[in-house]
């Protein structure tokens, strides 16, 4: 009898909760949203060089990974390297405020590195009421990409100024200022020095990797490249090598599937991409030659649906590099504190 009463009480409670699901949901949502909106996920971290991986995928559809996007925070500097589809929106969703974005650097002009830049423009503009255009810096052709974005978004920019007013969306701030820069120092401000070097992504040329230095810490970002001695040279003595990675054995399975499905042209594309990317094993060899402390793989091709498949993706990379090898995920964060040798790994 007592048990029956308890079951009845439970059923009545559940029915009450179901009946009240709209007001309860609103209250719960409000509590979470009030806490999360406008937060700064980078606040409270010690001075140092911070990398936030906002997009770690490639043009191959991957529900877990946006296209190429990496944010660099160092002192007062906040920069992006590349902005592929979905990356910048993910970064904003991670709680990284983009009002203070200083510039966007491009490694090269493949669509998966440039097609998601509109949110960077908009969030930096309205986040800081910027009156000046956002620098878009990269290899030859970058100014043309900037001009294309400005043309595409000119109507949008005028609507936003008209709607929100000059105090929030001032005329002139919702645009890019494109700069084609030769290899060499492309950024030198507040202790952060970023140097572009040529990599081998032929027929895409020029294509850049970047060496990033801040207060004695350094990171090299390969960009998209076949295994290149230039990356080893640039990464000599760096703390971290962030390298793109494609596992040919797994891509070959996709090629076979496309051939079996009667799609020979798409199958050929999956063979072509092998020539201008780097396998995890090759990246590990480069990391070893350069003597870096940690190898972070990104631009993951093909998509690996969950961590179960990461060992298959890495192959025997671990035999070629004695240090830690990580596969970056969207939200992975590395923090290199100034005046230290530590590498802190975190996630947003």
Q: Which residues are catalytic?
A: 112
Q: Which is nearer to Zn ion, 188 or 268 (CB)?
A: 268
Q: Measured from the CB of residue 122, what is the shortest distance to Zn ion in angstroms?
A: 23
Nearer to Zn ion among residue 60 and residue 338 (C-beta): 60
Q: Between the CA of residue 310 and those of 225, 271, 326, what are the distances in Å?
A: 21, 22, 10
The answer to whether residue 82 forms part of the interface with Zn ion (CB under 5 A) is: no
Q: Could you say which DSSP state residue 310 is in?
A: H
CA nearest to 90, candidates 65, 118, 58: 65
Minimum CB distance to Zn ion smaller for 69 or for 235: 69
Q: Which is nearer to Zn ion, 213 or 277 (CB)?
A: 277
Stretch that binds Zn ion, among 10-18, 108-116, 250-258, 334-342 (CB under 5 A): 108-116
Helix, strand and coil percent figures for the chain, each rounded to 5: 40, 25, 35
Q: What is the pattern of x (binds Zn ion, CB under 5 A) and - over residues 110-129?
A: x-x-----------------
CB proximity list for 344: less than 8 A, separation 6 or greater:
334, 335, 336, 337
Interface positions, 200-229, toward Zn ion (CB under 5 A): 224
Edge-to-edge strands, sheet with 48-55: 176-180, 134-138, 103-105, 77-83, 69-74, 48-55, 332-337, 344-347
| Residue placing its CB nearer to Zn ion in the complex, 272 or 316 | 272
Q: How far is the CB of 283 from Zn ion (least distance, A)?
A: 15
Using CB under 5 A as the criterion, what x/- string covers residues 166-205 for binding Zn ion?
Answer: ----------------------------------------
Residue 155 phi, psi (nearest 5): -65, -45
How many chain residues interact with Zn ion (CB under 5 A)? 3
The three-class DSSP label of residue 221 is: strand
Judged by the rule CB under 5 A, the positions of this chain that interact with Zn ion are 110, 112, 224
């Amino acid at each position: 009898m007592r048990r029956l009463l308890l079951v009845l009480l439970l059923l009545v409670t559940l029915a009450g909760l179901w009946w009240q699901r709209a007001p309860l949901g609103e209250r719960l949502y409000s509590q979470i949203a009030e806490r999360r909106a406008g937060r700064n996920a980078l606040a409270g971290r010690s001075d140092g060089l911070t990398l936030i991986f906002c997009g770690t995928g490639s043009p191959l559809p991957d529900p877990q990974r946006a296209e190429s996007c990496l944010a660099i925070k160092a002192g007062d500097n906040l920069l992006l390297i590349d902005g592929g589809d979905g990356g910048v929106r993910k970064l904003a969703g991670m709680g990284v405020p983009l009002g203070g974005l200083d510039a966007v650097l491009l490694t090269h002009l493949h669509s998966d590195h440039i097609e998601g830049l509109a949110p960077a423009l908009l969030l930096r503009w309205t986040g800081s009421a910027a009156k000046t255009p956002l620098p878009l810096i990269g290899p030859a052709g970058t100014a043309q990409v900037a001009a294309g974005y400005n043309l595409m978004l000119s109507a949008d920019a005028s609507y936003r100024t008209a709607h929100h007013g000059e105090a929030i969306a001032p005329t002139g701030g919702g645009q890019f200022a494109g700069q084609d820069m030769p290899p060499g120092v492309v950024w030198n401000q507040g202790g952060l020095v970023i140097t572009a070097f040529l990599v081998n992504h032929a027929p895409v040329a020029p294509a850049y990797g970047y060496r990033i230095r801040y207060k004695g810490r350094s990171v090299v970002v390969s960009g998209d490249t076949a295994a290149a001695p230039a990356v080893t040279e640039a990464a000599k003595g760096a703390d971290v090598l962030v390298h793109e990675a494609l596992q040919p054995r797994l891509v070959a399975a996709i090629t076979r599937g496309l051939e079996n499905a009667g799609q020979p042209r798409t199958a050929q594309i999956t063979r072509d991409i092998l020539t201008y990317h780097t396998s995890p094993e090759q990246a590990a060899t480069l990391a070893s030659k350069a003597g870096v402390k940690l190898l972070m793989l990104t631009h993951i091709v093909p998509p690996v649906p969950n961590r179960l498949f990461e060992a298959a993706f890495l192959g025997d990379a671990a035999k070629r590099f004695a240090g830690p090898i990580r596969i970056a995920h969207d939200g992975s964060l590395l923090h290199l504190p100034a005046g230290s040798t530590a590498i802190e790994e975190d996630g947003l």
